[in-house]
Amino acid sequence: MLNQNVLALGKKRSTIREIFEFGNQRAKIVGRENIFDFSIGNPNVPAPDSVQEAIRDIINTKHPSSIHGYTSAQGSEDCRIAVAESLNVRFGTDYSAKNLYLTVGAAASLSVCLKALTASPQDEFIVFAPFFPEYQVFIEHGAGAKFVVIPAQVQDFQINFDEFEKKLNPHTKGVIINSPNNPSGVVYSNETINRLAALLSTKSEEYGHPIYLISDEPYREIIYDGIKVPFIAPSYKNTLVCYSYSKSLSLPGERIGYVLVPNTVDNFEDVYAAVCGAGRVLGYVCAPSLFQHVITRCVADIADISIYEKNRNILFEALTSMGYHCVKPEGAFYLFPKTLEENDYAFCERAKKYDLLLVPGTGFGAPGHMRISYCVQTETVQRALPLFEKLAKEYGF
């Protein structure tokens, strides 16, 4: 007898994976260049040159045991110091190596935090739709806690506070936020963050235990129009930050990120130790050594995100003029318009006729929407526009 939960997870192909396979089949017939795959959030912008140079230099100058050997479980001190100092310079904080735990990307950061915080199967974690679908897997199957969804506030994709307050209760252990957001691209405003922090403080006091805020920030650097993303940790003392270099340095396959546990977190030392313990239970051992060296050198760098901004501008303007309704994204590399019929699966199925690969919003907890992942060549975006138009015309636009 196998673990039935994980067996079911392994057998079920994700919607995005299904779409990806469909694209592969169609590519054999019509050619890869005629597939308009907007389904996957795999950065198409290359990692900055500084990353390639750092890799070459590290390989040429460091001892192999330092490049390929184990580091301490929480990550090398050099790398943690580099990350802490970079945060301090940017955000005026005073973090040090002891606040950081390096991970194999944000997925691991989230899994580790959720595992560290879950003390009972009654514990609940709240997420706000639209949300990254793996949250449910990490909460229910990874940590063994309860997954609670707050419906989307579709007019702006900020937090629906009325619904949120109804779901808070003494079992609420934590809340996950993701800004800039996958899939909406929306950045939470200062007002949203301040209101959230105030509410969590009041409720923590009322329940007599902290409600942790897990801030999932892999898109923190991917922002447009020169806006500033509020750095959330200083706004609420019990915040754990989950970060990743998958998107900011275009390194998703290298698996490198971190958990930040600020000193302000209640029982900081125990929470940090629980994060280390959770990493141990989950068998992570340590983050990849070579990429710890790379991050130490490239911590302040960022991939060229101008292509994403260009794609966003082209798509947003064209789609809204065709009749699609969409909240303007200020970050990440996704657009999350309403589908032109209520059934988002039926709509995305229809789009396949034009080899337009879009992801239904239902999987993100927001039916009636579609995710368009625009981390693709600008030429692909431009060639896809007449197809979006034909699709809109089918619905009388």
Binding site for ligand PLP (CB under 6 A): 41, 105-107, 132, 178, 182, 216, 218, 244, 246, 252, 257
Is residue 226 within 8 A of residue 76, CB to CB? The reply is no
Is residue 244 within 8 A of residue 218, CB to CB? The reply is yes
CB closer to ligand PLP, 74 vs 182: 182
CB closer to ligand PLP, 175 vs 340: 175
Least distance between ligand PLP and beta carbon 132 (Å) = 4
CB closer to ligand PLP, 215 vs 362: 215
CB closer to ligand PLP, 241 vs 391: 241
Structure tokens at 83: 């990350």
CB closer to ligand PLP, 236 vs 258: 258
Distance of CA 382 to the CA centre of its chain: 26
Residue 214, phi then psi, degrees to nearest 5? -100, 115
- Alpha carbon separation from 232 to 36, 111, 168, 203, 344 (Å, rounded): 36, 20, 20, 18, 33
Is residue 232 within 8 A of residue 193, CB to CB? The reply is yes
**Strands (DSSP E) along the chain, which ranges?**
36-37, 100-103, 124-128, 146-150, 172-177, 212-216, 239-244, 257-260, 334-335, 356-357, 359-360, 370-373
User: Helix, strand or coil for residue 89?
Assistant: helix
**Strands (DSSP E) along 185-267, which ranges?**
212-216, 239-244, 257-260
CB closer to ligand PLP, 41 vs 365: 41
User: How far is it, in rounded angstroms, from Cα 115 to Cα 347?
Assistant: 37
Helix 268-281 to helix 106-117 angle (10° resolution) is 120
Query: Residue 176 corresponds to which amino acid?
Result: I
Least distance between ligand PLP and beta carbon 371 (Å) = 11
Least distance between ligand PLP and beta carbon 309 (Å) = 18
Structure tokens at 351: 């789009």
Least distance between ligand PLP and beta carbon 134 (Å) = 7
Least distance between ligand PLP and beta carbon 207 (Å) = 27
User: How far is it, in rounded angstroms, from Cα 234 to Cα 213?
Assistant: 11
Least distance between ligand PLP and beta carbon 246 (Å) = 4
Smallest Cα–Cα separation from 100: which of 303, 332, 292? 292
- Alpha carbon separation from 222 to 114, 166, 227, 305, 349 (Å, rounded): 25, 32, 10, 7, 30
CB closer to ligand PLP, 261 vs 391: 261
Least distance between ligand PLP and beta carbon 110 (Å) = 6
Residue 276 carries which DSSP code? H
Least distance between ligand PLP and beta carbon 343 (Å) = 25
User: How far is it, in rounded angstroms, from Cα 32 to Cα 299?
Assistant: 35
CB closer to ligand PLP, 134 vs 156: 134
Least distance between ligand PLP and beta carbon 257 (Å) = 5
Least distance between ligand PLP and beta carbon 273 (Å) = 23
